[in-house]
């Protein structure tokens, strides 16, 4: 079974500054995907960024980037130039890659989340 740990229940950052949210995971799988989801106060979870484990290059989406360390099983999220709209719960999630298309499902295993507050 997989586990995902987010060790920072709450964090805050000044607007325009950079913040890093940490995530570690435990798995015996070699092929998997990692995600960061954002859940603003309106409650809908939105995908922020996705990383495929077989790719060494860290994923980047505009102000969001990850530091993926496969050997250390670490997957941190860096938010640059923080904006007030970044205030949300951030969830790290793991997905095992199915053996073949259509096999099993693509269930997500989530961490407990980090509540990020961006301060004006």
Partner 1 sequence: EPEVTQTPSHQVTQMGQEVILRCVPISNHLYFYWYRQILGQKVEFLVSFYNNEISEKSEIFDDQFSVERPDGSNFTLKIRSTKLEDSAMYFCASSLSLRGKAKNIQYFGAGTRLSVL
Considering only residues 113, 114, 116, 118, which one is a binding residue for partner 1 as defined by CB under 8 A?
Answer: 113
* Pairing of the two strands 24-26 and 64-69: unpaired
Tell me if 42 contacts partner 1 by CB under 8 A: yes
Give the shortest CB-106-to-partner 1 separation in angstroms: 5
User: Closer CB to partner 1, residue 13 or residue 59?
Assistant: 59
Report DSSP state, residue 59.
P
DSSP per position, 11-51? EEEETT--EEE--EEE-S-SSEEEEEEEE-TT---EEEEEE
User: Closer CB to partner 1, residue 28 or residue 101?
Assistant: 101
User: Closer CB to partner 1, residue 11 or residue 108?
Assistant: 108
Q: Smallest Cα–Cα separation from 118: which of 94, 85, 90?
A: 85
Q: Using DSSP, state whether 89 is helix, strand or coil.
A: strand
Tell me if 41 contacts partner 1 by CB under 8 A: no
Q: Using DSSP, state whether 103 is helix, strand or coil.
A: coil
The stretch among 22-30, 38-46, 59-67, 78-86 that binds partner 1 (CB under 8 A) is: 38-46
Q: Which residues would be at the binding site for partner 1 (CB under 8 A)?
A: 33, 37, 42-47, 50, 91, 95, 97, 101-102, 104-113
């Amino acid at each position: 079974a997989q586990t995902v740990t987010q060790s920072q229940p709450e964090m805050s950052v000044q607007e325009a500054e950079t913040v890093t949210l940490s995530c570690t995971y435990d798995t015996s799988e070699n092929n998997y995907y990692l995600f960061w989801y954002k859940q603003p106060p309106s409650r809908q979870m939105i995908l922020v960024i996705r990383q495929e484990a077989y790719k060494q290059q860290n994923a980047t989406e505009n102000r969001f980037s990850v530091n993926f360390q496969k050997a250390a099983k670490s997957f941190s999220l860096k938010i640059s130039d923080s904006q007030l709209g970044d205030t949300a719960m951030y969830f790290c999630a793991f997905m095992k890659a199915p053996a073949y298309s259509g096999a099993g499902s693509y269930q997500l295993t989530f961490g407990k989340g980090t509540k990020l507050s961006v301060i004006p």
